[in-house]
Amino acid sequence: MNASQDVVDRFEIEELRAEVTDAVMMRDFDRFASLFTPGAVVRWPHIGKEFTGREEIRSGIEWGQGLWEFFVQNVHAGVVRLDGDTATGRVYIEEFGRMRDGGSHRNHALYHDRYRRTPDGWRFDERVYEVRYVDSAPLTGSSPKE
């Protein structure tokens, strides 16, 4: 592959990573699921959950987001390693929010990703979430009422 294609691929993968975070934050579960290959797998080992295929992935994110009163996810730049029509990468995550049961949650984590080029562009083929730090101290702020 040439250097120009590498730049395009890296840009498109960064756009994919931004799009998936936006879909979560906007609670657009259909858009979220569309960013994965049909046989993709999402693993959240810290809570013992694994979702395979777009339908399960969509249901899984809707279930997970349903646990939160409010939720904020920030994504920080990571790495991408290209290999033709596949790639691997990591992104660094900071999340916080309050659960509907009243518990607070803040964490720092990373996603270990595998990407695949498809006719619709780059898509996630696998995401594995690894939590590095958790804090359940009560959040003192509040969410504005809609």
How high is the mean pLDDT in each 10-residue block of the chain (146 residues)?
90 97 97 98 97 98 96 94 98 96 96 98 98 96 72
The answer as to whether 85 is a domain residue is: yes
Domain assignment of residue 124, yes or no: yes
Q: What is the pLDDT of residue 142?
A: 79
- What local confidence, expressed as pLDDT, does residue 83 receive? 97
Domain count, the chain: 1
| Domain boundaries, position 101 | 3-135
Flag whether 146 is in a domain.
Answer: no
* Buried b / exposed e along 82-121 (16+ C-beta atoms within 10 A): beeeebebbbebebbbbeeeeebbebbbbbebbbbbeeee
Q: Which helix (H) or strand (E) holds 116?
A: strand 104-118
Q: What is the pLDDT of residue 16?
A: 98
Classify residue 141: in a domain, yes or no.
no
- Domain containing residue 13: CATH number: 3.10.450.50
Q: What is the pTM of this model?
A: 0.93
Instruction: Judge whether 117 and 50 are in contact, CB under 8 Å.
Output: no
Residue 143 lies in a domain: no
